Structure 1
Amino acid sequence: MTTTSRESCTRHGCQHSTGCPHPPAWRSWSEWFWIPEWDIAPGRSSRQQVLSFPASNLAIQRDMVELAGPTTRVSQQDLEGRGWAVGALLHPAAVPLFTADPAGLRDTKLEISAPGLLAAVGQAMENPDGETRRGQAVDAVARWLAEQLPEVSEEALLANAMAAMIAGNSELVSVEDVAEGLAVSVRTLQRLAKKYVGLGPAALIRRRRLQEAADRARSHPELDLAGIAAEFGYADQSHLANDFQRVLGFTPSSYRQQSGGL
């Protein structure tokens, strides 16, 4: 059986030797790009379980362009045959281009009519050189976003700052902490989150905390779960376990076992 999968992910830049043009202006719209490629033997499939960041993703495949809304739980995708996807993790500022109600897209997808983008990415991914095709595909998506999106507003930049602060500062454990850090009211944060993200600021904080705890549990099997729970602000180990079960669908101990942590 032949089953191969390769993924390239770029954050604020590019890992490709050819380089992925990502000028500062485009960074207002996309945080990073991801490009999985797979080749599954006939009659076989590969199930992928993904806990995405609580944000919207634009994904281009051979025959469609989709916007995946913010997720509240693990998603699954079965890969078959040979294929690829080119995706962009969108900053909040880009979301209103696609929907006025991001909350309505939680855990679901919306097909986007963008024939020019579909053709440009498809042509790029036909290049036989892997590094070149991925670089060209990212360039095509970034160019399309820049053409479609208006000049970023101060409000949109504030929404980006809110999301970045929550994702990047584990010391922020309450909405009030984030509001103080941005010098705005809690009500302003809630309005921004509703318009640009589709999940409330408290939900974003909980997701970041869970992802950090999951990463610590996986990468440090020597640490006891009660200590990890305390480190990331959970009242006790049972609260951490409840969060795991609600979002991931299994316990912290099971997660460790599945991740090879034990």
Structure 2
Amino acid sequence: MRPWVDYYWRVRWEGIEPHEQPVIPQSRIHLAAEEGRLLVHGINRRTFTRTLTGTGHVIGASFRPGCFRPFLRQSVRTLTDRVVPAGDVVGVDDVETAEWLLDPSRSDEQLVDGMNRWLSSAQPADDRVAFELADLVSRVEADRTVVRAEQLAAIAGVSLRTLQRRFDDYVGIGPKWVIQRCRMLDVAAAVHSGQPVDFASLATELGFSDQPHLTRAWTALVGSPPATYRNRA
């Protein structure tokens, strides 16, 4: 699954009190075994919170941006801000596999193997556009100087309108949103680094007009200014 899947992940929890975990979504689709099904998590444009109670685990696959399109065989935009059972949109029954994956006795290696088997049964196609867009988003994630969709269109060698259409169809969201979210994740990495942060310099580096612009964008995403968030974290 390497051409399509970036990585597999597993979350385990055990606690007496419920734990609320905020999540800043990325520009990628996740497939996760939970609640007795394999659930496809489309791109969520807003920060959300998951509540973990008791004891349990979730196993999931994080797809390279654009690379769930070969499984879905239609526009990924239909999944944006939605969570749907995988069998309903991929056409391969997921209930038995989800039950197997949610068995707490399984090792990580067994879980990855089980997820691989189900994904292989969906017979994804090799899709040049999907792989090109995945590489393009990787460029955005790694290169902080990419701050505008027009820059990304130039890198891709296509018009801005063509880039927008491809992102809507394959990634599920426009290139402007993807770039802005990558830069917000750069802010998150800075505030979690444990090192002092010069937010004015960081704002300039990430393409914001000034520090108040960065502060407004971050506050709209997580509900508090970055300095407040850093102190709480």
Structure 1 runs of 4+ aligned residues shifted over 6 Å read: none
Displacement after TM superposition at 1:112 (Å): 2.4
Aligned residues: 226
Map 1:189-200 onto structure 2 (within 5 A): 189-200=163-174
Is the partner of 2:179 in helix, strand or coil? helix
Comparing 105-114 and 54-63, the one that deviates more: 105-114
Residue type at the aligned position of 1:121: L
d(CA) in 2 for partners of 1:222, 1:165: 27
d(CA) in 1 for partners of 2:224, 2:81: 18
Is the partner of 1:93 in helix, strand or coil? coil
Residue type at the aligned position of 2:102: G
Is the partner of 2:67 in helix, strand or coil? helix
d(CA) in 2 for partners of 1:97, 1:154: 14
Aligned match of 1:77: 50
Higher relative contact order (CA 8 A, sep 6+): 2
Aligned match of 2:90: none
Map 1:41-120 onto structure 2 (within 5 A): 41=16, 44-61=17-34, 63-91=36-64, 92-95=66-69, 97-98=71-72, 100-113=74-87, 114-120=94-100
Aligned match of 1:35: 10
Give CA-to-partner distance per residue, 1:127-180, whole Å, 9 cap, x none: 3xxxxx111101211232122133312222222222222222222222222222
Is the partner of 1:81 in helix, strand or coil? strand
Is the partner of 2:147 in helix, strand or coil? coil
Q: CA RMSD in A?
A: 1.9
d(CA) in 1 for partners of 2:117, 2:166: 26
d(CA) in 2 for partners of 1:150, 1:27: 12
Aligned match of 1:223: 197
Map 1:61-210 onto structure 2 (within 5 A): 61=34, 63-91=36-64, 92-95=66-69, 97-98=71-72, 100-113=74-87, 114-123=94-103, 125-127=104-106, 133-210=107-184
194, 210, 230: which one aligns with 1:236: 210
Segments of structure 2 that go 5 or more residues without pairing to the other structure are 88-93
d(CA) in 1 for partners of 2:216, 2:95: 44
CA contact (8 A) 2:14 2:54 kept: yes
Residue type at the aligned position of 1:251: P
Displacement after TM superposition at 1:194 (Å): 0.6
Give CA-to-partner distance per residue, 1:5-27, whole Å, 9 cap, x none: xxxxxxxxxxxxxxxxxxxxx12
**What percent of counterpart residues are identical?**
26
d(CA) in 1 for partners of 2:75, 2:7: 23
Is the partner of 2:133 in helix, strand or coil? helix
Displacement after TM superposition at 1:70 (Å): 0.7
Segments of structure 1 that go 5 or more residues without pairing to the other structure are 1-25, 128-132
Change (3 A) 1:76 1:184: same
Aligned match of 2:91: none
d(CA) in 2 for partners of 1:94, 1:235: 34
Displacement after TM superposition at 1:96 (Å): 5.0
Displacement after TM superposition at 1:121 (Å): 1.8
d(CA) in 2 for partners of 1:154, 1:224: 41
d(CA) in 2 for partners of 1:222, 1:198: 35
Change (3 A) 1:102 1:248: farther
Q: TM-score normalized by structure 2?
A: 0.88
CA contact (8 A) 1:103 1:199 kept: yes
